[in-house]
């Protein structure tokens, strides 16, 4: 994996962090943009104004301050923003303040896997607590069949008494986790006779 950029742009002050979902009507593939540190929402807002479908999920976490514990929003994929666009017409994206380049191999942008980005969007829009997770290469792959996370795919994980769906973006080697109900889980490998999620 490499980073390709035609221009490194000047920094721009960050805007308040929040997440806004939108319908996926763009026929183009999703790509990961490498952006300046803490500029995820600035880039997201700038590209949305330009008419692009763009996506920068965040999560809430607690940070210790000198006099208190503060709850803040942090990017789920620090340094990256996802955007749909035609790679033959990428200059307006590359000249957007805060954008460093498009993630790809060599000088060719590489799209994010369609199933992975769809699952990340489903998890982010569901209103459930989401958190970063160490990248997982293997494990029992599942699809959720019911509830607000229906259709999301990832790796099934049990941590203490909680069941987790771990969704990854292989291109970035990054994962996120969300707690799920075991009853909504269906294995993706239907060729197996029986798959147990017990200990």
Cα→Cα distances 46→94, 131, 150, Å: 12, 25, 31
Domain ranges of the chain: 1-112, 113-199
For the residues of 61-130, what is the DSSP string, one character each?
EEEE-SSSEEEEEEESSTTEEEEE--GGG-HHHHTSTTEEEEEEETTEE-BPPHHHHHHHHHHHHTTS-E
What pLDDT, on a 0 to 100 scale, did the predictor assign at position 191?
A: 44
> What number does CATH give the domain 113-199?
2.30.30
Sequence-separated (6 or more) residues with CB below 8 Å from residue 108 = 4
What pLDDT, on a 0 to 100 scale, did the predictor assign at position 31?
A: 98
Tell me how many degrees the CA angle 165-134-13 measures, rounded to the nearest 5. 100
pTM confidence score:
0.80
What pLDDT, on a 0 to 100 scale, did the predictor assign at position 26?
A: 55
With b for 16 or more beta-carbon neighbours within 10 A and e for fewer, the 83-94 pattern comes to bbbeeeebeebb
> What number does CATH give the domain 1-112?
3.30.70.940
How far is CA 146 from its chain centroid?
A: 21
What pLDDT, on a 0 to 100 scale, did the predictor assign at position 189?
A: 64
Query: Which residues of the chain carry a pLDDT beneath 50?
Result: 1, 3-23, 190-199
């Amino acid at each position: 994996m490499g980073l390709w950029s035609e221009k490194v742009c000047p920094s721009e002050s960050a805007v308040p962090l929040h997440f806004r979902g939108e319908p996926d009507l763009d026929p183009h593939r999703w790509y990961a943009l490498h952006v300046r540190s803490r500029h995820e929402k600035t880039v997201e807002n700038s590209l949305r104004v330009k008419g692009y479908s763009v996506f920068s999920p965040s999560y809430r976490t607690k940070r210790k301050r000198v006099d208190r514990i503060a709850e803040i929003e942090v990017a789920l994929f620090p340094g990256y923003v996802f955007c749909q666009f035609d790679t033959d017409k990428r200059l307006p994206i590359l000249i957007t303040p805060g954008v460093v380049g498009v993630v790809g191999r060599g000088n060719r942008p590489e799209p994010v896997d369609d199933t992975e980005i769809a699952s990340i969007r489903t998890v982010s829009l569901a209103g459930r607590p989401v958190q970063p997770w160490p990248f997982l290469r293997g494990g029992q792959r599942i699809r959720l069949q019911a509830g607000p996370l229906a259709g999301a795919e990832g790796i099934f994980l049990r941590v203490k008494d909680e069941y987790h769906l771990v969704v990854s973006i292989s291109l970035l080697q990054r994962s996120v986790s969300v707690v799920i109900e075991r009853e909504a889980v269906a294995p993706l490998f239907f060729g197996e006779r029986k798959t147990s999620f017990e200990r």
